[in-house]
Amino acid sequence: MRARAVVRRLTINDGTTVDVPESGVVLIVGPNNTGKSQALRDVIKLMTSSGEPGIVIREAEIEHFGSEDDLIETFASDRAILRTATGADQAHLGVHGVQAISSIRQWWSSPHARHLVGGYFAIHADTESRLEASKPAPSMDLYENSPSHPLHHVYANPELETRLNDISRRAFNSGLILDAWSGGNQWAFRVGNIDPPDSPRPSVAYLDELRKAPLLHQVGDGVRSMLGLLLRFYTGHQNISLIDEPEAFLHPPQARYIARLLADEAATTERSILVGTHSTEIVHGVLESSASATLVRLSRNRTINNAAVLDNDAVRKLWSDPLLRYSNLLDGLFTDAVIVCEADADCKYFAAVRDTFEDEAVESRRPDILFTSCGGKHKMHAAVEALVAASVPVAVICDFDTLNEWATLRRLFVSAGGDPGLIETDWKILNAALTSGDRNPSKMGVKESLDRSFDAIEEPELTRKNIESLRRVLRIENGWDRVKNSGKSAVPAGDPYRACERIIAALADRRIHLVPVGEMEDLVPAVGGHGAAWVAEVLEQGLHNSPDSDGARVLMRAVLDSLDRGDADAVVEEGADA
């Protein structure tokens, strides 16, 4: 059998455990300075040393498989045995360097010393090592010597060379060619659209053309980083891969592509891949594959790294929701908090209002907050559920008429962790007060309103906006209609008003904030219109940063304060690892 080391479970320093799939991907995400890179370094440390816990990953449960003979046979199969003139064979054990086979046998035979061999089974692909893999390497007689560089492995495996060439063409519209002829005693990779030579002894004309192609280590860092990572990954014998920021230097399409390539490989081989990333494209790429995917979102509370873990079933359930899959909601995994609004126009306006606070908190880092919309109040609960599942602090800003429909309000309140029983009685009191006066419109009243509406229409043909205004004339008059346009001020005095205030307070306690005057547009009534046109006019006139938006700033301050209360002890420490 093949000898191997398997990471079964990780324990974060907050006590959270993460089960690591033997064949699959663990995505470690979160805002800056929450410990993603350190977590990967901890795994390597825990695999190759004993006794001392890691900084972010406190413990790792690791199993080793195979006898001493299995281990040596694995070395031989991997062509990892280094022959010496004295006949004392050696092998490279990663962080523990080159060691004698006799010593390695001893260590592997002892459960307390197997960690000394652990580095052989893991690869830590940080940015520096990926760029290094793109450089030329000394030529080598592979009949007499074991490969020591990805170039040597590719030279010995023409099928892998073809695969890497195809990947490079697809990612960068330029192929990857191994040049073992024009560099004297060095082999190198070149980048260009040149077909492989027809024979082992290429013509002078072919070599002239090959020399014109740029060397891989002299092209852009994006190409070097991606292809360097794939070179290390595909040529490595390790079954555990720790990859830090694979998106480095890449445009979004290439980042998504490399993530899918890595995940597909994990799905078809017994490889555990742990990825620390700042990129939603990496997350998307992994989830587009069939690989088992576990999501770990880290946040930082002084010296404690808190973790929210979504296993493969939970991740796939969220991914099946089009709202999550085709929106920017996943960006919230990498921010300090998310504010969910009803529409894109609301996001733009409230983000602009929030920016007016920029200079107020000069003594601390400005939190990174994502404003995102979800296609109306009926979808808000789904967005909140997804973010809460990943422990992303989330607040909601919605129109006052969110109170209108109990089913919608209930779903939203529950998604934010609220108990609907706390507000149901008050909602019934409020609803009864606002619907008790419902009455059909009078014939004369409708006629007069229609006459006024038609007189106000200047166009020869009715527009959608005109038709909607005419339809409103025929609606049954309802207290909820008045509330929609005026907010809390339209709620009847007495018990209904007190019930409404209790509902507002309960919602705010769960970070759900109603526009108190009705709709967003009612916050700056000096500007007419609706939605995107209204926001454009408000921003063009600078009214978001004027006394006209004082009410909006009061609302935004309440939203930000609620996010602060929910994560009051969380701080970002200067110099912390990403």
In order of 39, 126, 271, 319, the CA distances from 242 in angstroms are 10, 8, 11, 24
Confidence of residue 478 (pLDDT cuts 50, 70, 90): confident
Rg (CA), the chain: 31
Sheet holding 137-138, edge to edge: 137-138, 186-191, 176-179
Q: Would you call 541 helix, strand, or coil by DSSP?
A: coil
57-65/4-12 β-pairing: antiparallel
Confidence of residue 121 (pLDDT cuts 50, 70, 90): very high
How many Å is the maximal CA-CA distance in the chain? 111
Above 50 in pLDDT, residue 567?
A: no
User: If you average pLDDT over residues 30-34, what whole number do you get?
Assistant: 92
Q: In which region does residue 257 sit, left (phi positive, over 0), alpha (psi from -120 to 50) or beta (all else)?
A: alpha
Q: In which region does residue 7 sit, left (phi positive, over 0), alpha (psi from -120 to 50) or beta (all else)?
A: beta
Above 70 in pLDDT, residue 472?
A: no
**Residue owning tokens 């909602």:** 427
3-state SS, 421-463, equals HHHHHHHHHHHHHHHCCCECCCHHHHHHHHHHHHHHCCCCCCC
User: If you average pLDDT over residues 315-342, what whole number do you get?
Assistant: 90
pLDDT of residue 437: 63
Confidence of residue 196 (pLDDT cuts 50, 70, 90): confident
**CA pair distance 273, 276, nearest whole angstrom:** 10
**CA pair distance 32, 506, nearest whole angstrom:** 32
pLDDT of residue 94: 80
pLDDT of residue 573: 35
User: If you average pLDDT over residues 368-377, what whole number do you get?
Assistant: 91
Q: Which helix (H) or strand (E) holds 293?
A: strand 292-301
Above 70 in pLDDT, residue 445?
A: no
User: If you average pLDDT over residues 485-493, what whole number do you get?
Assistant: 90
Residues paired with 64 in a beta bridge: 5
Which has the higher per-residue pLDDT, 454 or 433?
Answer: 433
Q: Would you call 395 helix, strand, or coil by DSSP?
A: strand
pLDDT of residue 459: 75
DSSP conformation class of 376: S
Above 90 in pLDDT, residue 465?
A: no
pLDDT of residue 571: 35
In this structure, are residues 546 and 6 in contact, taking their beta carbons and an 8 Å threshold? Answer: no
Above 80 in pLDDT, residue 293?
A: yes
Above 90 in pLDDT, residue 485?
A: no
In order of 45, 254, 255, 443, the CA distances from 288 in angstroms are 31, 14, 13, 59
Condensed to tens digits (0 to 9), the pLDDT of residues 506-525 reads 999 999 999 999 999 999 99
Above 70 in pLDDT, residue 122?
A: yes
User: If you average pLDDT over residues 32-46, what whole number do you get?
Assistant: 95
Which of 367, 403, 377 has its CA nearest to residue 499? 403
First-to-last CA distance in the chain?
39
Condensed to tens digits (0 to 9), the pLDDT of residues 208-246 reads 999 999 999 999 999 999 999 999 999 988 999 999 999
Confidence of residue 575 (pLDDT cuts 50, 70, 90): very low
73: how many CB neighbours lie within 10 A of its CB? 15
The whole-chain average pLDDT of the chain stands at: 89
Q: Which of 80-89, 347-356, 461-470 shows the lowest mean pLDDT across its residues?
A: 461-470
User: If you average pLDDT over residues 370-377, what whole number do you get?
Assistant: 91
Confidence of residue 326 (pLDDT cuts 50, 70, 90): confident
Secondary structure of the chain: what % helix, strand, coil (to 5)?
50, 15, 35
User: If you average pLDDT over residues 316-343, what whole number do you get?
Assistant: 90
Above 50 in pLDDT, residue 92?
A: yes
Confidence of residue 502 (pLDDT cuts 50, 70, 90): very high
Calculate what percentage of the chain has a pLDDT beyond 70: 93
Q: In which region does residue 514 sit, left (phi positive, over 0), alpha (psi from -120 to 50) or beta (all else)?
A: beta
369-373/337-341 β-pairing: parallel
**CA pair distance 400, 523, nearest whole angstrom:** 12
**Residue owning tokens 């940015």:** 127
Condensed to tens digits (0 to 9), the pLDDT of residues 130-144 reads 999 999 999 888 777
Above 60 in pLDDT, residue 435?
A: yes
Q: Which residues contact 154 (CB under 8 A, 6 or more apart)?
A: 160, 161, 164, 178, 231, 235
Structure tokens at 20: 């690591």
Structure tokens at 499: 């019930």
Q: What predicted TM-score, i.e. pTM, was given to this entire model?
A: 0.85
Above 50 in pLDDT, residue 574?
A: no
pLDDT of residue 412: 97
Query: What is the residue-wise DSSP string for 179-210?
Result: E-STTTTEEEEEESS-PPPSSSS--HHHHHHH
Q: Which residues contact 574 (CB under 8 A, 6 or more apart)?
A: none
pLDDT of residue 301: 87
Q: Would you call 196 helix, strand, or coil by DSSP?
A: coil
Q: Would you call 577 helix, strand, or coil by DSSP?
A: coil
In order of 101, 153, 156, 508, the CA distances from 76 in angstroms are 11, 14, 15, 65
Which has the higher per-residue pLDDT, 408 or 444?
Answer: 408
Which of 156, 571, 509, 192 has its CA nearest to residue 361? 571
**CA pair distance 201, 198, nearest whole angstrom:** 8
Above 80 in pLDDT, residue 377?
A: yes
User: CATH classification of 4-136+227-310, choosing from 3.40.50.300, 3.40.50.720, 3.30.70.141, 3.30.2310.20?
Assistant: 3.40.50.300
Confidence of residue 30 (pLDDT cuts 50, 70, 90): very high
**Residue owning tokens 């998310």:** 338
Which has the higher per-residue pLDDT, 367 or 416?
Answer: 416
pLDDT of residue 444: 65
User: If you average pLDDT over residues 331-340, what whole number do you get?
Assistant: 94
pLDDT of residue 572: 34
User: If you average pLDDT over residues 187-204, what whole number do you get?
Assistant: 87
CATH 3.40.50 assigned to domain 323-420+504-566? The reply is yes
Burial of 472 (0-12, 13-18, 19+ CB in 10 A): exposed
In this structure, are residues 298 and 323 in contact, taking their beta carbons and an 8 Å threshold? Answer: no
Q: Where are the domains of the chain?
A: 4-136+227-310, 144-214, 323-420+504-566, 441-475
Backbone angles phi, psi at 509, to 5 degrees: -65, -25
In order of 33, 203, 205, 213, 216, the CA distances from 208 in angstroms are 49, 9, 5, 9, 17
**CA pair distance 232, 227, nearest whole angstrom:** 9
